[in-house]
Structures are given as C-alpha cells and as structure tokens.
Amino acid sequence: MSKQGVTPQSEDFSKWYNEIVYKADLAAQTEVRGCIIIKPYGYEIWEGIKSGLDRRFKATGHQNAYFPLFIPESYLKREAEHVEGFSPELAIVTIAGGKELEERLVVRPTSETVIGKAFSEWIQSYRDLPLLINQWANVVRWELRTRPFLRTTEFLWQEGHTAHATEAEAEAETLQMLDVYADMAMNDAAVPVIKGQKSNIERFAGALRTYTIEAMMRDKKALQSGTSHNLGQNFAKAFEIRYLDPANEQQYCWTTSWGLSTRMVGAVVMTHGDDTGLRLPPKLAPIQVAIVPIYKNDDEKAAVHDTVQRIAKELTAADIRITIDWRDQSPGFKFNDWEMRGVPIRMEIGPKDVEKNNAVLARRDIPGKEGKQFVPQAGIVNAVKTLLAHIQQNLFQQAEDFRDGNIHDVKNYDEFKQVIEAGNWARGWWAASDADERRVKEETGATLRCLPFDQPGGTGQCFLTGATAPRVALFAKAY
C-alpha cells in the first residue's frame, strides 16, 4: 500500500483506479449497477472539459440545442446497421403511466435518429445548410462490465450533429471537430493523443468513416477519448434529410456526428495519477492552489491569518482558483489530502514565512523537496501563474514521453505478439483484411486503435501478411 493507503499502480492498476476515484471524492456508488453519482469535485473537472469544448464549438459556428431522451423504436429501425450496432446495449421502455405503450421507446444510446428526423423537417433548401448543432446530454448503454467514468450504463457527453450540401464539406467538418477534440485534450487536459481513422470493423455503426483520438493510460492500455463520424448519406436517406439545390433539384444531405464523454475525466485520472492520488492539470483543476496555514497554537494562527487572507485575496482577484485549509487537522493530514485530490500547488504559510515575507510552494507534479520552493510574497501572483503554466506543460511532457517510450515498431507477427504480451503498443505496416484483424484481436487481445494521420510515407511490408502496405496501424489492448 502507498502512504495514502492506495493500491500501487504497479500492483493492480484497475484497483488503484477505482480507489482513487472514490478516495479523491470524484464519485460515489449507487444501488443501480453501472450508474454512479458524480460528486462536486468530479463534476467540476467535467465542467472544465465541457466549458473548454463548448467555447471551441461556438467558435466554429455550432449552436447548442436539446433533444428528447426517449426515441421511438421505429426510428432506430430505419437505419438497419445503426440499430444492429447498438441492439445489445439498448434500454427500452415498454410501460408508462401503468399502461403498455403502443410503440416501445428507446432510452437514447445516441441521437442520430431523433435528430435526423428533426433535420428532415428543418432543412428545405441549400440556403438552410450547413446546419451545425450540438447537444449536451446524458445517454444510456447497457454495459456488461462497468467502471466509473470509463464505462457506465448512464454517462454524460456532448454529441454534435451537422448536415451539409456536399461530401467534401461533411468530411471537412468531421476532421475539424476531431482537431477540436485533440486541441482540448492536449492543451486543457494535458493528455497527448494520436489522431487517426478507425478500421472498417471499428467504425461507428452506420458511418462512412470514423476518426478517433487515442490516448495511452499509465497501465499502457489505450483509451478511445473522442470520435468523429462522417455518416455519408446513410442517415439522410433513412430520414429523408433533403434539400433543394440551386438548380431546383432535390438532393440528399451529407451528415456528421461526433461525441466526447465523461470518459475524459477517467482519462485525466489514468494519464496523470500516481500512487499518492490524482495529479490534475492546472487548466482543469477545480482548485489550483490549496493554501495550508501552519501553526501550533492560537497565537501563531492569529499571526498567519492576515497574511493568508491577503494572499488569498490577491490570487482570487487574478482568477486563480484557491482554497484555504483551516481544518482542525495536522499539516501532514492536509498535505496528504491535497495530494490525493491532485491540487497542482500547495502553498504553506507559517509564522517564519510571515516574518520573512515568504511562502512555500509545493508542486504536485514533482514530489518531495525537489518540488518545493520559497518565493517572496511580493509578486506571488506572477510566481503562481508561472508555476501553474510549468506544471501544465510538465504533465503533458511526462505523459507524451511515457507514451512514445511504449510504442514499438514491429516487422512481423512474432514481434507483434511479444510487444502486445509485454503490455505495449505495436505499430506496423498494415494491409490485412477485416478477418485478419479479427483474428489478431482473438489471438492477442489487441485491437487496431487507428490508422494514424501521421504516416511515415511510402510503402512497407505488412507485418501479418507480408503484402505491400500503404500505411502503418497502431494496435493495443484497450479499455
């Protein structure tokens, strides 16, 4: 056990994750399997993710709307591949108001169908395009194996839905929104992600093409952190989403959808956390600085009180999120508690610091004495801001170095199996079939995470079949 009483990552990463989520007060369990309560501290992290995305959505011309939670079952059946993909996960309402419903209602697993129906009524002419809509909502997918934030029966997310006049416009939208996800993940959550296209068997049900951002967690498993789908005209034809073009002819729209969920909270935990708790990137941390007054008696408490309040006021005025820990607990208890919660900076102020006009800043990303520094109280706002920026960058750099150090290039299937068996990611030239891809998954447990946008160029020899391959693929075991 660690000093916090947490199972070390190296001993049992899954157990470590579950303990951290609850000990850091992110969530609480409920009586309904697969459903969690997101507690205020966890919800504030989600709000940080949400606000970062929402700002970017609006900057790219999207508007928020809200659509019903219940979807007529007939809507899903209109797009056969879509309903087949979701069928095992559906929760269906059959009785309401004490009576059996004439038509069963599906609790939304996603909203392509109900939004497709609305789009068919809203779009008449090419002048109505593009239609750019986003929804912040909850969805339900009946999961067999659940884990807080990563895979729950009910979860929060956003789902974007757009309609366009041409395939090129829809493709540009799909890729633009993937870039938005990657920008938020890397710059706000400090999670380095790899952008790429999903394989045919991993694409979203009913989509023409699916794109993804993939991240490596501290146990080296992959986490699909956000996806963007070019739906082609599949949903447009199922729901008659058509427009009158400039030549006065009816055309089917090209549609997209894209989503990112509270799974990203889990990504933050598993990308940055260590054996003493969370390590939150400053941009998402609900509390950026925890001020811990140090005193042994009431006289010393009185001596530090005014200084603590003055510094707190200065930091708050500079939009730095702070808390002052006046709890009747030992400094050691408080230090451990704020470490568990992942607060980026702990500030200590005692009687000697008041005398010397100093404060102690302890970085969460660098443990022990190495992460501590004495700073003058004069100019402390700038010192804290600079340190927060350094912590944000350092967390990203640590995660990127860890990821890149655990991706291995493979030339043949034996090498591939060795890399996967060791728990790493395998990267290799790929020209195999869907059946081959399924066989690899069955034999090794690894899935094709994506065909990365960042390609070496030229051609190579497929590590599985030996055939000439036009691009490399990334494989890993995944959540």
Strands (E), 287-328: 289-293, 322-324
CA distance 199 to 126: 32
**pLDDT single digits (tens) 345-374:** 999 999 999 999 999 999 999 999 999 999
The pLDDT, as a whole number, for residue 205 is 84
CA distance 366 to 238: 55
Residue 189's alpha-carbon distances to 250, 260, 274, 279, 347, in angstroms, are 44, 13, 16, 11, 23
Which single residue is written with the structure tokens 């290039």? 409
The pLDDT, as a whole number, for residue 83 is 62
The model's pTM is 0.95
Cα atoms in the Cβ-side hemisphere of radius 13 Å centred on 129: 27
The pLDDT, as a whole number, for residue 144 is 79
| Sheet strand arrangement including 358-363 | 322-324, 289-293, 345-349, 358-363, 372-376
The pLDDT, as a whole number, for residue 89 is 87
The pLDDT, as a whole number, for residue 1 is 67
- Report helix, strand or coil for 428: strand
- Evaluate the CA torsion angle 148, 283, 257, 101 in order and state its sign: positive
CB 219 within 8 Å of CB 13: yes
The pLDDT, as a whole number, for residue 206 is 85
CA distance 389 to 288: 11
**pLDDT single digits (tens) 452-463:** 999 999 999 999
The pLDDT, as a whole number, for residue 5 is 83
CB 262 within 8 Å of CB 158: no
- Longest alpha-carbon distance in the chain: 84
| Low-confidence residues in the chain, pLDDT < 50 | none
Which residue segments constitute the domains of the chain, with CATH numbers given?
13-272 (3.30.930.10), 289-383 (3.40.50.800), 407-476 (3.30.110.30)
